[in-house]
Amino acid sequence: MIKYNPAIISNNITLKILGLICMLASSYAYSQNIPQNSVYQLNSTWLDQNANKRTLSSFSGKKQVISLIYTHCLHTCPTIVSTMQAIENKLSETEKQDVGFILVSLTPDTDTPAVLKEFAQSRKLNLQNWSLLTGTPQDVRSLAMVLNIKFQNIDNNEVNHSNLMTGLDEQGRIKFQELGVINNAAIAAEKLANF
């Protein structure tokens, strides 16, 4: 017959409760470190091109240039990606260490992590600096609303959408938005260097 020591059981329960309180407190403290006007306040989980789960707050600590695209787009999206690559090329090696580039899919049902990875390879994106994300349609819609990106799904898995790139500071606050056209690459690179 096993005898239970009430003091040990009580101590174990107390330790578990204390552990839970510490975890909740640190989670609360972390959320308090994210400014209220930060994109990183969005509580969503994404998959990157390597099928790793990511939260937007995992991108904190570096400036980011973010845009919403879809990989099979033949019109606006290639221009946005080329513009973001031109921004990257205008940064010094030191600046490149402090800036990341995020592409979020507007067609998450077809832009799987494997498709995103293939797209990154075909566009020769440096995955040390670039992250490609796919998520639920609801999370995409929420992020688009926060970034003021308008989009509408149309026939054949095509999407009409805003042609915007957004610059975020290290804490995920919007610092600028520019049209994703090559002529704006130098302007965006200068803005990144000055905040």
pLDDT, tens digit, 9 for 90 and up, residues 22-61: 444 333 434 458 899 999 999 999 999 999 999 999 999 9
% residues pLDDT > 90 (the chain): 74
User: pLDDT at position 12, please?
Assistant: 53
CA distances from 80 to 24, 85, 112, 178 (A): 40, 9, 20, 10
Q: What is the pLDDT of residue 30?
A: 43
C-alpha torsion angle, residues 107, 113, 115, 119 (rounded to 10): 100
pLDDT in tens, 80-100: 999 999 999 999 999 999 999
Contact 106, 66 (CB under 8 A): no
Angle 28-38-189 from CA coordinates, rounded to 5° = 140
Is the overall model pTM greater than 0.75, yes or no?
A: yes
Q: What is the pLDDT of residue 31?
A: 46
CB 134 within 8 A of CB 113: yes
CA dihedral 149, 117, 127, 188 (to 10 degrees): -20
Sheet holding 63-69, edge to edge: 53-55, 45-48, 130-134, 99-105, 63-69, 164-168, 174-179
Q: Are 71 and 116 in contact (CB under 8 A)?
A: yes
**138-184: pLDDT as tens digits:** 999 999 999 999 998 888 878 888 899 999 999 999 999 999 999 99
